[in-house]
Amino acid sequence: AVQAGDRRGGEEEDAMQDGHFAFAQAASVLLGAYLVGTTVLGSAVKLSDAASYALFGVTVLLLLAPLAIPVKMTLFRKKKPTLVEPPASAEEEPLLIPSDLPPADEDSEKVDVLLAEGEGAVVKRKRRPRRGEDFKFTEALVKADFWLLWFGYFIGVGTGVTVLNNLAQIGAAAGIADTTILLSLFGLGNFLGRLGGGAISEKFVRSVLLLPRPIWMSLTQTVLAVAYLCLAYALTPGVVYACAAVVGLCYGVQLAVMIPTVSELFGLKNFGLFYNLMAVANPLGAVLFSEELAGRLYDGEAARQRHSGGHPHACIGPECFRVAFVVLAGCCALGTAVSLVLAARIRPVFRALYAGGSFRLPNSNQQH
């Protein structure tokens, strides 16, 4: 009776936590969508002071919405059911085992081996860690999996941050006067990508498919390649708005997938070092793709237009970023191939971790 009550109580608590988590995430998504909507509305029509204050008040309410969870838990506490203890058994095992019992043969052999190791008679060779175990920093650096993951992540976030850094120029080249909406769409997509990318990859890695997380990096990089080609050859305001949201979404997925993949492959002991090395891919990609590639090509096309009597301070037209976007699309195609190779290499790791339920979250058979 006690075990059944504990099980029911644990299930109810898990369901309550899942509900609270879903409420917090739904409130966050609603807030993001609301902010983008108000940005679009403010750009389309001139709002009065009263309307602006009302919209701001709704924003504050949405920001405070997650506080409803602790308020609910405080005001509506659930009483714990009274558990009936089972009657004490007449025959109970002793709490302490007498120490004068002779040791088993196995224990004697282990003691002999330990004594031999201490005296130097046995030299125990240190085994290198396998995937999924705790790696030292230097041990991870010589693994192909680490650099495949780093390179795939570098392509995804490097090309994405290039669009982010040049959104104003891209919008101006497409004839968009106010680029505030572009930034809002990219930010909303980035938020949804980080939130949804982690949830979806977690769902599928624990399903019967056992899809490795890098699959989602390869899928989003394929989408990025298509978006860059659209920006290269169909640079219109509608395409720019849509691609800003899509690129932001795929950009967010890269980070959401990279973090758990690093921990699952190389352990948590030195996770901080691994994460920081992965994070270098973002500024490095910004320097190479944004400044050296897109920036130089944009400046060259802008100078050519000025000499031809064009706009004195900006570059207008699809030629401003066409070559850069084609190169970015090619890089994403390469990144897709790299992520697929990584997914194929590490599939046995995910099969070992999640085939019978995660080693971190036991399945129902293990719990009961």
Which DSSP category does 212 fall into? Answer: -
Domain range summary for the chain, segments of one domain joined by +: 2-75, 137-367
The whole-number average pLDDT for the span 106-117 is: 56
pLDDT in tens, 170-186: 999 999 988 889 999 99
Q: Which residue has the higher pLDDT, 315 or 91?
A: 315
Q: Is the pTM of this model over 0.95?
A: no
- Position 86 scores a pLDDT of 57
Whether the pLDDT of residue 232 is over 60: the answer is yes
- Position 368 scores a pLDDT of 42
Contact between 334 and 158 (Cβ < 8 Å): no
When mean pLDDT is compared across 41-45, 318-322, 329-333, the lowest value belongs to: 41-45
CA distance 41 to 142: 53
- Position 116 scores a pLDDT of 54
Q: Which residue has the higher pLDDT, 328 or 62?
A: 328
137-367 belongs to CATH 1.20.1250.20: yes
Residues 6+ apart with CB under 8 A from 201: 211, 213, 216, 256, 257, 260
- Position 362 scores a pLDDT of 42
A 10 A CB-CB count for 153 gives 27
What 19-27 contacts at long range (C-beta under 8 Å, 24+ apart), as own/partner pairs, is 20/69, 23/66, 23/68, 23/69, 24/66, 24/69, 25/195, 27/62, 27/65, 27/66
The whole-number average pLDDT for the span 87-91 is: 54
Whether the pLDDT of residue 92 is over 50: the answer is yes
The whole-number average pLDDT for the span 84-98 is: 54
